[in-house]
Amino acid sequence: MTYRLYNRTGSGGFVVEAALALADAPFELAVIESKPGTPLPDSFRDTNPWRQVPTLILPDGSIMTETSAILIHLAACFPDKKLAPTPGSIGHAAFLRWTIFANVNIYEAVLRRVYPNRYTTDPNATQATIDAANQRMGEALIVLENAITTGPFLLGETMCLADVYITMLYVWFKGGIDAPRLSALRDKVKQDTIIAPLWRRHFGDRG
Q: Which residues bind ligand GSH (CB under 6 A)?
A: 11-12, 39-40, 51-54, 66-67, 103, 107, 111
Residue 40 or 162 with smaller CB distance to ligand GSH: 40
Residue nearest to ligand GSH (CB): 52
Question: In angstroms, what is the minimal distance from the CB of 62 to ligand GSH?
Answer: 16
Question: In angstroms, what is the minimal distance from the CB of 7 to ligand GSH?
Answer: 8
Torsional sign, CA 117, 120, 121, 124: negative
Residue 3 or 181 with smaller CB distance to ligand GSH: 3
Q: How far apart are CA 148 and CA 183, in angstroms?
A: 11
Residue 39 or 180 with smaller CB distance to ligand GSH: 39
Residue 68 or 186 with smaller CB distance to ligand GSH: 68
- Work out whether strand 3-7 and strand 27-31 pair parallel, antiparallel, or are unpaired: parallel
Residue 42 or 178 with smaller CB distance to ligand GSH: 42
Question: In angstroms, what is the minimal distance from the CB of 159 to ligand GSH?
Answer: 20
Question: In angstroms, what is the minimal distance from the CB of 97 to ligand GSH?
Answer: 16
Burial class of residue 151 in the structure, from the number of CB atoms within 10 Å of its CB (0-12 exposed, 13-18 middle, 19+ buried): middle
